[in-house]
Amino acid sequence: MGLAARLAPALLAALCLAGCDPQRISELEEGVSTEADVRARFGQPENVWDSPAGRVFEYNRQPQGQKNYMITIGADGKMSALRQVLTPENFARVQPGMPMEDLRKLLGKPARRMPYPLKNETAWEWRWVQPPNSPMVFVATLNDDQRVVRVGSSPDRSTEAN
């Protein structure tokens, strides 16, 4: 079996998952949809966090996609918020000294982590789209204390044709 034939099912599954998000999102309504509705459309969350607003479900579309979703389920068991978190506004909230856990709760799982052992740092990358349609990469570099030391965005060169 050729490489293309072996990779085709995985590629198709990734494309279906990415393509289904708009439909799945449009089927959910804040204040009406329940936790069961969210799980039926999005599946098992990557992480679940407790927050003052309720439980937050993390749904990642990295590394193939360019979005990450946080869905909040209120104390009444209904969805109170659904937001795509890879935005310029959220990136602006990432500041030096921010703990890794807060970074993860803000942006979700990164597309990739690159360790730099000689510098005692790790770069976390998220793929995103800057409006109107520019593929970008946001990078937050963390030190050994798992705190952000610097951040930045640049064009996503992986999307360019060779």
Chunked into runs of 10 residues, the chain (162 residues) has average pLDDT values of: 42 39 80 96 95 95 92 97 96 98 97 97 97 94 98 88 55
- How many whole angstroms separate alpha carbon 129 and alpha carbon 114? 21
Per-residue confidence (pLDDT) for residue 64, from 0 to 100: 87
Q: Is the dihedral of CA 22, 26, 35, 69 positive or negative?
A: positive
pTM, to two decimals? 0.82
- The correct answer on CATH 3.30.1450.10 for the domain covering 88-159 is yes
- Which H helix or E strand runs over 91? helix 88-93
List the helix and strand counts (H, then E) for the chain.
4, 8
Domain range summary for the chain, segments of one domain joined by +: 28-84, 88-159
Q: Which two tokens stand for residue 19?
A: 């393509």
